[in-house]
Structure 1
Amino acid sequence: MKIKIVEKKDNELIIEIEGEGHTLCNAIKSILFEDEALVFAGYRIEHALLSKPVLYLKTNGKKDALVLLKETLEKLETNIEEFKEKFQKELEKFK
């Protein structure tokens, strides 16, 4: 995975995420929408085989766009760890 910041303003951020697809972008977008500072979030994938999604986000100015993305990724990481722990507990039932 390669990440490139295409454009950065205080309340806007555009990044390219090479090597990823809808799965990661939808997860990020879903968590972004939980924040009141978000005005817009979306992504586009020009061609499914080339997989270079471009993620857009814009805030209302109460929070820097880069800060919002960092917080979102931390929440995503927490969600994944929680899922992993619960999944491990369920697996123990089958041993």
Structure 2
Amino acid sequence: MDIFKTFYKARDDENAAKMSAYMKNKFSFLGIPKPMRTKLSKNFINQKKMEGKIDWQFIFECYGMPEREFHYLALDYLNAVKDFLIPETLII
């Protein structure tokens, strides 16, 4: 499953403009509200969680995307795999 393509297919330009305006145009949006974002990413996050480790490359890729929904996706993913966080992974 390519979660990036899934999110882009769900793009709603009218909603994106409203979301961006609400955030004082500091972020680009796809216009996907949280309930829909959760629904679109549920299976993907569950599959990633079954890997039993944190996919840091995925997180960095999400934060490299311009749209805010991908940043939220990274946070949702991290929340799902928080049990795999160990102190050593948090030291930069």
Q: TM-score, normalised by structure 2?
A: 0.32
Larger radius of gyration: 1
| Structure with higher strand content | 1
Q: TM-score, normalised by structure 1?
A: 0.31
| Structure with higher helix content | 2
